Amino acid sequence: MMIQSLKLRDFRNYQELEINPHPGVNILFGQNGSGKTNLLEAIHYCALGRSHRTSQDKEVVSKGADFAAVGVQLQKSSTRMDIQVKLTPNDGKKKSVFVDRKRANRLSDLMGHVQCVIFSPEDLMLVKEGPSIRRRYLDMMLSQLSTAYFTALQQYQKALDQRNALLREAKKGARLDAAMMDAFEEAMAAQCAVVIPLRRRMVSHTAFIAGEKYASISGREYEEFRMEYECCVPEGEDIAAYAASELKSGRQEDVFRGSTSFGIHREDILLTLKGREMKVFASQGQIRTAALSMKLAQLEVFRGETGEAPILLLDDVMSELDMTRRTRLLEEISGVQTFITCTDESDLEGCRERRSYQVYMDAAGFGHVTEASAGSAVPTTEEMLDDLDL
């Protein structure tokens, strides 16, 4: 999988931009705040229809603009594909997705066309942060591989929000509508039956690869790194029936809390090293190695499931890694189209197949990208993304 063209219009600090990336490593260097991460964010939108930095689409629309648009021209095996996302947060239809210039009916239609793995400084805290960041890691991976998973997650969240709304009203003294609670809980339980088997399989598969990556990067095979899915439903139980029962039996406690205490939205991945929980005792070096191993495992899972390497986005992580881990990372990304942001181009001295871009802002605050070193030639086509007016 390779991006041949990336195009932005009124996205963050870019009025209009088009670049034709290198098939290997693309280095985006410049001062902090110049707009490097915005380029990775644009690619992320084309893969998942959302930002990895904010849940508010309006934040990415340039000041004074009515909409923002991003698009990629993608080469997959022997086929070429155009993906475009238009964001109009002030209109009723806040987001529009186009696949090969045809409007998609649902956001789920976008999933799987552009697959990316993003590694940012925040991901170095996969070990130390709460369960939500590890669930997000799992959800982003599975959503790009399974439309059914993405749809089930959306439907589950909708039913969860509705159940929580009833709980909050009941906490204030309103009568709890049992029939409505039954309906929302049945909807949640049905989606649990879709999500949980996929999570179980994915964590098991990823854990094996991540363990191998950890041993390779650290050089310490005796430091066994493990990932274990902490599921809300015990193994062997009928998932839908068990979930519905737990939700119903927990209603009174949930009214007191004003929120739902059981479900896939509270699950976690337990990370251990030599049998001990990492967030309790692990050193900073061990934490960085574990987080990097999990991301590299994600890359290998995508490659194994689809037969193609995903796009790799590395957001200012080189400065967080020592020379050994940096070298190991560069070895791992061979043959993968990669976009790396950094403030100092010298962080990537060991990288051969690459193209460098300097990112900077003008006096008016608009972002610009200038090719600093070309690298090898990149195949282009006559039909580039020539219409982001949509």
119 touches 299 (CB < 8 A): no
pLDDT at 351: 64
Q: Which residue has the tokens 């190991």?
A: 328
What distance in Å separates the CA atoms of residue 191 and residue 307, rounded to the nearest whole number?
Answer: 28
Question: How many CA atoms are closer than 13 Å to the CA of 255, on its beta-carbon side?
Answer: 16
1 touches 75 (CB < 8 A): yes
387 touches 63 (CB < 8 A): no
What secondary structure letter does DSSP report for 176? Answer: P
What distance in Å separates the CA atoms of residue 353 and residue 373, rounded to the nearest whole number?
Answer: 11
β-pair type (276-277, 311-315): unpaired
320 touches 288 (CB < 8 A): yes
pLDDT at 111: 86
Output the six-digit token pair for 164.
């929580």
49 touches 110 (CB < 8 A): yes
Output the six-digit token pair for 135.
């669930």
Q: Which residue has the tokens 């942060």?
A: 129
The candidate with the shortest Cα–Cα distance to 17, out of 377, 298, 367, 283, is 367
Strand ranges inside the chain, DSSP E: 2-11, 14-19, 25-29, 68-76, 79-87, 95-99, 102-103, 116-119, 225-230, 268-273, 276-277, 311-315, 338-342, 354-361, 367-373
What distance in Å separates the CA atoms of residue 319 and residue 342, rounded to the nearest whole number?
Answer: 8
Output the six-digit token pair for 200.
């179980």
pTM, entire model: 0.83
Question: How many CA atoms are closer than 13 Å to the CA of 211, on its beta-carbon side?
Answer: 19
What distance in Å separates the CA atoms of residue 263 and residue 195, rounded to the nearest whole number?
Answer: 11
Output the six-digit token pair for 305.
């499931």
What distance in Å separates the CA atoms of residue 312 and residue 176, rounded to the nearest whole number?
Answer: 48
What distance in Å separates the CA atoms of residue 16 and residue 34, rounded to the nearest whole number?
Answer: 15
What distance in Å separates the CA atoms of residue 247 and residue 257, rounded to the nearest whole number?
Answer: 14
pLDDT at 378: 47
Backbone angles phi, psi at 294, to 5 degrees: -65, -40
Residue 96: CB atoms within 10 A of its CB come to: 17
What distance in Å separates the CA atoms of residue 154 and residue 156, rounded to the nearest whole number?
Answer: 5
The candidate with the shortest Cα–Cα distance to 258, out of 334, 198, 179, 176, is 176
pLDDT at 383: 43
- Most distant CA pair in the chain, distance: 68
What distance in Å separates the CA atoms of residue 287 and residue 285, rounded to the nearest whole number?
Answer: 5
Per-residue pLDDT of the chain (390 residues; tens, 9 = 90+): 899 999 999 999 999 999 999 998 899 999 988 999 999 999 999 998 888 888 788 888 988 888 999 999 998 877 899 999 999 887 767 889 999 989 988 888 888 888 899 888 778 788 888 999 999 999 999 999 999 999 999 999 999 999 999 999 999 999 999 999 999 999 999 999 999 999 999 999 999 999 999 998 887 777 899 999 999 999 999 999 999 999 999 999 999 999 999 999 999 999 999 999 998 888 888 888 898 899 999 999 999 998 888 999 999 888 777 777 777 778 877 788 999 998 877 666 666 667 889 999 999 889 999 988 766 544 444 444 445 444
**Residues sharing a CB contact under 8 Å with residue 236, sequence separation 6 or more, in sequence order:** none
